[in-house]
Structure 1
């Protein structure tokens, strides 16, 4: 069913399109006309896109690349991805034609002249075969009666030899399921009885139906395929160091602020793990801390917490963005990456957690000591506590600060990889069901808050055993030596049973839900405040006719 007139097998890019000058622009364009009042109809834009898929080498090459990229996906998912890309490409075509027609109208004050010029452009670039001429005439027959270039269509239509080798009874199902297909050869255009306009013949229903919940955006369904409300876009090929720096500052600010709010929960969680008999639940734990240490006791270890999670945010967010892009776009083939997006997110989260753990471990060791034994360590301050830990075992020295590294890294790798994956999938699910939430900044930030709370809860449950072992190892380093994760886990179970691995789960889940929700929310807030919006991280395809 597809004409497949393009035989050039060389690789081309969309920038090389023959119809005009294709460009990827770093920011979304502001069109001169309202989004809902296009000059070019959805049916014209989608069939124009099909013609380009067949007769323009650059567009055909781009489409073949997409088909190869998604070839390993399940059929339904493959079709969904291609539908999204086709709809967005058609939106770029529509916008470029809108601009062309509006500009020509301003010069000639005549819409029909503008369409005649566009018709001539198509003939000049692609009209070197009967198949192409037929399809171009069909395309311009879609225009309203008053705008059709009648003489031009008549001139080229009369030179097309009839195709007598096509089965008239051919089924159109494959045409509707293949966006690179064109109407078969027995379709053409026929002038009306009063010679006032052309129409596609045999007759075909040119429906245009608005759909508000497709691809997470408004879409118009047409006979020839979907037309998206958002033009074709792609991720920036390279992030500059400035972008990564702003990711880091946004993450550091967000993490430090959120952890400062939930320090009391962190204190209760640590006390429940180090002294379970006296801190069995949140309410009694709060009462006991206030009774013994005053209200300031709920802020024990604040210095270490703020310093540690400032570093955590500074390192984990830019490194996650880097690893996800590097693995998905440079290290692995695109088709394999498309099939394993969840795996790439998990690996990227794990690698970023490893980097964060290197700076977080000494500060976490100091925090746990201060919370577990405030009378001894609190007066020393953060640096004094770290010096004391180093001096407690001369054989270990500075390595004592990293006694909990295996356990903390295990916890952070599990927590970090699940956190990013759960957050992204939760956002996808919410926007898929309520796409209008993308439209306003405050609703989009609300989605980040909800998805972050879900992500934090899931991550805390999965990583809880590692967190319990980390606390145990950090507390017992001075008496048990440099314990490994496995050894610490074994000793905990021997002393207190398997339930010891889940001490403090309630307060930690509440802590994680609150902190990760706030973390993602503030990260998005500060990232937008610093000018790093979604539009700044993508390029939008435009075409100058």
Structure 2
């Protein structure tokens, strides 16, 4: 119901993109039909060959699908590194470094042990990706509608931050149960080897609280991460096309555009890892320590302990974020979805500021 109402609100928005450089002045096509089912103005006309209109319900749904594919696949691919990272955080005495962590895990559990937690990772982050990317696009349109086209351009960084934070709030609610199961499987020896074993055990021991006790620290970790992920990516992409790429975006091939997407995603990922790491450490330790609060865990770890496993997480999150943006953008290319260029100053604002 919530997702549907957000889609309807975005669909009815007169701003189909916050940074539209082109607008459609007529309210109907040559056959007399409306440009969109629910309103008279379309901020950016769909380019010929696009599979859907920018800002339509179909567009938002396909963005959600892209989020499922990008987040579900990438997080599952790095499960071995994630497992070692979590163990470094919760037991630094036994797992002294990344390489030592891999060595100890291989010695005790074999190669198969490196895949522990893959199922909750895949399902959890697929659900998170659906909400993260799908709702980001929705909230970006809703908030743009609220502040207007000119302010959407002038304060676009704040728009990215607000839209991504709102999307991640709901994405973490979807992720929390699977994240709790993943960490339990990876960091509690002998507790469970599969998702099917872990879920009933966790429910029997702590009830529903077992799946949501890490929600607040998850918000503390994921919301700053996602705000950085989207805002840093959007602005880095804008700067790369302005100062680094030797030709305008419209003159780049789809392949060249995807390379720029990957580069912007990796830069964003490094910053994401740093700002969200202390909360990530708390989440890992919290789901291992029965009955402890986030504050108790943070106090026990101390300032230095909160930064355990930072280097492997930078490598993991940098690669992960770059791959997610690459896959997400590639899905848009494959499905022939609208891919608006970097934001341009609206004509009305140019006139006010006297910009040619």
Q: TM-score, normalised by structure 1?
A: 0.52
The structure with the largest alpha-carbon Rg is 1
Matching residue of 2:69: 253
Are residue 297 (structure 1) and residue 113 (structure 2) matched? yes
Matching residue of 1:529: 334
Are residue 492 (structure 1) and residue 301 (structure 2) matched? yes
Counting only pairs closer than 5 Å after superposition, residues 8-407 of structure 1 correspond to structure 2 as: 15=25, 26-28=45-47, 239-328=55-144, 330-378=145-193, 381-393=194-206, 397-407=207-217
- Structure number with the higher strand fraction is 1
- Aligned pair in 2 of structure 1 residues 383, 510: CA closer, same or farther (>3 Å)? same
Counting only pairs closer than 5 Å after superposition, residues 438-453 of structure 1 correspond to structure 2 as: 438=249, 439-453=252-266
- Contact between 2:61 and 2:134, CA under 8 Å: does it hold in 1? yes
Q: Deviation of residue 535 (structure 1)?
A: 6.1
Matching residue of 2:9: none
Distance 2:44 2:273 in 1: 41
- Aligned pair in 2 of structure 1 residues 25, 331: CA closer, same or farther (>3 Å)? closer
- Contact between 2:86 and 2:187, CA under 8 Å: does it hold in 1? yes
1:319-350 residue CA offsets vs partner (Å, 9 max, x unmatched): 0111111112x212434333221111111111
Are residue 455 (structure 1) and residue 268 (structure 2) matched? yes
- Contact between 1:27 and 1:535, CA under 8 Å: does it hold in 2? no
Matching residue of 1:100: none
1:367-396 residue CA offsets vs partner (Å, 9 max, x unmatched): 001111243211xx2133122112113xxx
1:267-321 residue CA offsets vs partner (Å, 9 max, x unmatched): 1110101111122211111111111110111111000111111111111101011
Ranges in structure 2 where 5+ consecutive residues have no aligned partner? 1-22, 27-41, 344-356
Matching residue of 1:431: 241
- Contact between 1:437 and 1:443, CA under 8 Å: does it hold in 2? no
Distance 1:24 1:371 in 2: 48
Distance 1:428 1:298 in 2: 38
- Aligned pair in 2 of structure 1 residues 332, 253: CA closer, same or farther (>3 Å)? same
Count of aligned pairs:
300
- Aligned pair in 2 of structure 1 residues 528, 285: CA closer, same or farther (>3 Å)? same
Question: What SS does the corresponding residue of 1:475 show, helix, strand or coil?
Answer: coil
1:413-448 residue CA offsets vs partner (Å, 9 max, x unmatched): 010011101111111111112152731111110011
Matching residue of 1:413: 223
Distance 2:262 2:230 in 1: 13
Distance 1:536 1:343 in 2: 19
Matching residue of 2:279: 466
Q: CA RMSD in A?
A: 2.3
- Contact between 1:453 and 1:514, CA under 8 Å: does it hold in 2? yes
The one of the two structures with greater contact order (alpha-carbon pairs below 8 A, sep at least 6) is 2
Distance 2:333 2:220 in 1: 32
1:341-365 residue CA offsets vs partner (Å, 9 max, x unmatched): 1111111111111111001111011
- Contact between 1:26 and 1:537, CA under 8 Å: does it hold in 2? no
Q: Deviation of residue 491 (structure 1)?
A: 3.0
- Contact between 2:188 and 2:288, CA under 8 Å: does it hold in 1? no
Distance 1:277 1:424 in 2: 40
- Aligned pair in 2 of structure 1 residues 453, 14: CA closer, same or farther (>3 Å)? closer
- Contact between 2:55 and 2:141, CA under 8 Å: does it hold in 1? no
Q: Deviation of residue 463 (structure 1)?
A: 0.7
Matching residue of 1:218: none
Matching residue of 2:36: none
Distance 1:387 1:536 in 2: 48
Distance 2:46 2:75 in 1: 34
Distance 1:472 1:425 in 2: 34
Q: Deviation of residue 449 (structure 1)?
A: 0.8
- Contact between 1:311 and 1:356, CA under 8 Å: does it hold in 2? yes
Question: What SS does the corresponding residue of 1:375 show, helix, strand or coil?
Answer: coil
- Aligned pair in 2 of structure 1 residues 14, 300: CA closer, same or farther (>3 Å)? closer
Distance 2:157 2:255 in 1: 27
- Contact between 2:160 and 2:230, CA under 8 Å: does it hold in 1? yes
- Contact between 2:254 and 2:333, CA under 8 Å: does it hold in 1? no
1:506-542 residue CA offsets vs partner (Å, 9 max, x unmatched): 111111011111100000111221221326999xxxx
Matching residue of 1:67: none
